[in-house]
């Protein structure tokens, strides 16, 4: 049942200040300078200042340590090839005998010849032999040493983020719209594929879940409530800006291992969101929100052609039909809803910002702005954060966010009282001493027991395991 504009406006008027906020993270204000306005600002949150790394890789607070799990050109798969490059979205699963299984995306776009270390074309696991991307599965022993790595899926393109499922699999997303004959591809791309870290046979003869649409996918989240079973998906695209989607399963459908793969290409309904404010006014772009705590009502509009045979999905809507946002990125389920990142907005958007995190409540059908990062005037300086990307809900409270901004790159946390704090800083300079450059962080995820935080430095491709005195920061 949709929430009409009239119903949302009536509810907002009744409560006076708008719909009550949901989720334990609360309203987070993390624009530069916001700490001074927060209660308790005299006591810095987090784990203390970051200490420079003598090895020049990762700065951490005192008491924390890191370990390199995989590194492109150094570690190798079971088959003998190098760990593929360009690590991106990652998820952790409990394996056998206390091991942790990590499914790691590799964001490699276009032909294999363009990349020194593509995902190997493992027998039976290849979708398109021309494509360089895919996923690997990394098994880590209880004591943290790297044990093994193998191909989960190959022959896909631009595997950016994705999402876990309640049944213990990983949905990997292609952030591309290349069709067969374009950019060297032999098959259409821009789909979601399922990878089972526990069963190497399950991903044989890869088949895209076409019911979820073909577009520049970023991330996906599954609503664990069996009464709904919706999937939410983000699109990282511009010209025009991308959309936030919901897939509604067909009547009687029940989720489980292998069931998405078995769906008909037109199964269920793919919808794009439409937002409106408490006065019932249509919101054209999420960048319009300039204050944390902003609440929008959400309705859903059916996508005409989800496979985008002639027109990209986001271009199938006229102005006034759907709400857009630049760089819709990572998502994570928590607190009964979906945390959704809009990484930044520039001239392609109505209002500029350096990052937003929203919370979608499927019960109330509302979208609440939790984090707003003001434009960072000096991204080359260590301090303010910008460009949030991958995100996870921390078992120790609040959010942990991977930064993909300009200049200095961090992992940072955000607390439910509005304060933010650094967790790590990338110190690997892949530029020059005169013009330093630091790759983005990706794939932030906690081990199932909450004791280890895994994260990636995308270039050249390094997976890290961070341990220390985790607590409520």
Q: What is the DSSP string of 313-351?
A: GGGGS-TTTS-BBTTEEEEEEETTEEEEEE--B-TTSSS
Q: What does the buried/exposed string (b/e) look like for 165-182 if buried means 16 or more CB atoms within 10 Å of the residue's CB?
A: beeebbbbbbbbbbeeee
Q: How far apart are CA 244 and CA 342, in angstroms?
A: 10
Nearest-angstrom CA–CA distance, 19 and 13: 9
**Cα-Cα end-to-end distance for the chain:** 39
Separation of alpha carbons 54 and 263, rounded Å: 52
Q: Identify the pLDDT of residue 473.
A: 78
Can you name the residues that pair with 296 across neighbouring β-strands? 367
- Assess contact for 441 and 402: CB atoms under 8 A: yes
The H or E element containing residue 358 is: strand 356-361
| Residues 333, 336: Cα–Cα separation, whole Å | 7
Note the pLDDT of residue 270. 98
CA distances from 285 to 36, 98, 251, 326 (A): 29, 45, 32, 8
**Rounded-to-integer distance, Cα 102 and Cα 301, Å:** 35
- Name the percent of the chain in helix, strand, coil, to the closest 5: 5, 35, 55
Q: What averages of pLDDT result for each successive group of 10 residues across the chain (473 residues)?
A: 48 38 35 35 81 97 96 96 97 94 97 97 97 98 83 98 96 97 97 96 93 98 94 96 97 94 97 96 96 95 97 96 96 96 92 93 96 87 88 94 92 80 95 92 96 96 96 84
Classified as helix, coil or strand, 264 is coil
DSSP-derived letter for residue 3 is -
Instruction: Say what the alpha-carbon torsion angle 451, 400, 468, 150 is, to the nearest 10 degrees.
Output: 60
Q: What is the reported pLDDT for 33?
A: 32
Locate 317 and state its tokens. 């809507």
Q: Are 107 and 121 in contact (CB under 8 A)?
A: no
pLDDT of residue 274: 98
Give me the pLDDT at residue 39, please: 39
Count of CA atoms in the C-beta half-sphere (13 A) of 238 = 10
For residue 112, the SS3 value is helix
Residue found under tokens 């109505």: 350
CB of 313 within 8 A of CB of 307?
no
The two three-digit tokens of residue 309, written as one number = 């045979």
H or E stretch at 273: strand 269-276
Rg (CA), the chain: 21
Peptide bond into 240 cis (omega under 30): yes
CB-side exposure of 335: number of CA atoms within 13 Å? 24
Length of the chain: 473
- Indicate if the alpha-carbon torsion angle 186, 191, 196, 201 is positive or negative: negative
Q: What is the DSSP letter of 20?
A: P
Residues 6+ apart with CB under 8 A from 43: none
- The hierarchical CATH code for the domain 5-467 is 2.120.10.30
Burial class (CB in 10 A: 0-12, 13-18, 19+), 289: buried
pTM: 0.91
Nearest to 455 by CA among 151, 88, 106: 88
pLDDT score recorded for residue 418: 59
Beta carbons within 10 angstroms of residue 301's beta carbon? 16
For the CA atoms of 275, 280, 282, 283, what is the dihedral angle to 10 degrees? -60
Q: For residue 174, what is the enclosing H or E element?
A: strand 170-174
């Amino acid at each position: 049942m949709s929430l009409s504009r009239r119903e949302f406006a009536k509810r907002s008027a009744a409560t006076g200040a708008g719909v009550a906020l949901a989720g334990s993270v609360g309203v987070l204000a993390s624009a530069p300078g916001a700490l001074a306005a927060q209660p308790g600002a005299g006591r810095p949150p987090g784990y203390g200042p970051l200490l420079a790394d003598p090895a020049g890789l990762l700065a951490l607070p005192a008491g924390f340590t890191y370990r390199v799990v995989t590194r492109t050109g150094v570690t190798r798969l079971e088959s003998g090839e190098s760990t593929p490059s360009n690590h991106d979205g990652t998820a952790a699963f409990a394996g056998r005998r206390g091991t942790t299984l990590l499914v790691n995306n590799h964001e490699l776009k276009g032909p294999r010849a363009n990349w020194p270390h593509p995902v190997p074309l493992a027998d039976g696991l290849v979708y398109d032999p021309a494509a360089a991307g895919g996923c690997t599965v990394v098994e880590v022993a209880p004591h943290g040493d790297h044990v093994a790595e193998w191909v989960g899926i190959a022959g896909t393109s631009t595997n950016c983020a994705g999402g876990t499922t309640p049944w213990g699999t990983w949905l990997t997303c292609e952030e591309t719209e290349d069709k067969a004959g374009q950019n060297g591809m032999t098959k259409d791309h821009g789909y979601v594929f399922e990878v089972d870290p526990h069963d190497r046979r399950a991903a044989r003869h890869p088949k895209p879940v076409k019911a979820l649409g073909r577009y520049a996918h970023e991330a996906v989240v599954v609503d664990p409530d069996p009464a709904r079973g919706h999937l939410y998906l983000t699109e990282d695209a511009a010209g025009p800006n991308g959309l936030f989607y919901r897939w509604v399963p067909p009547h009687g459908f029940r989720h489980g291992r292998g069931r998405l793969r078995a769906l008909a290409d037109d199964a269920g309904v793919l919808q794009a969101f439409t937002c409106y404010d408490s006065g019932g006014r249509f919101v054209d772009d999420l960048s319009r929100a300039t204050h944390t705590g902003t609440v929008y009502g959400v309705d859903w509009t059916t996508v005409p052609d989800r496979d985008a045979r002639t027109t990209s999905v986001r271009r199938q809507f006229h102005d006034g039909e759907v709400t857009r946002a630049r760089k819709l990125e990572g998502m994570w389920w928590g607190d009964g809803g979906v945390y959704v990142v809009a990484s930044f907005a520039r001239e392609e958007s109505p209002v500029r910002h350096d990052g937003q995190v929203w919370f979608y409540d499927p019960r109330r059908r509302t979208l609440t702005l939790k984090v707003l990062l003001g434009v960072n005037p000096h991204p080359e300086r260590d301090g303010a954060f910008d460009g949030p990307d991958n995100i996870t809900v921390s078992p120790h409270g609040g959010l942990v966010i991977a930064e993909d901004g300009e200049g200095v790159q961090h992992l940072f946390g955000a607390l439910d009282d509005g304060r933010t704090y650094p967790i790590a800083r990338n110190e690997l300079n892949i530029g020059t001493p005169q013009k330093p450059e630091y790759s983005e962080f990706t794939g932030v995820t906690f081990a199932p027991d909450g004791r280890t935080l895994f994260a990636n430095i995308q270039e050249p491709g390094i997976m890290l395991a961070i341990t220390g005195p985790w607590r409520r920061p």
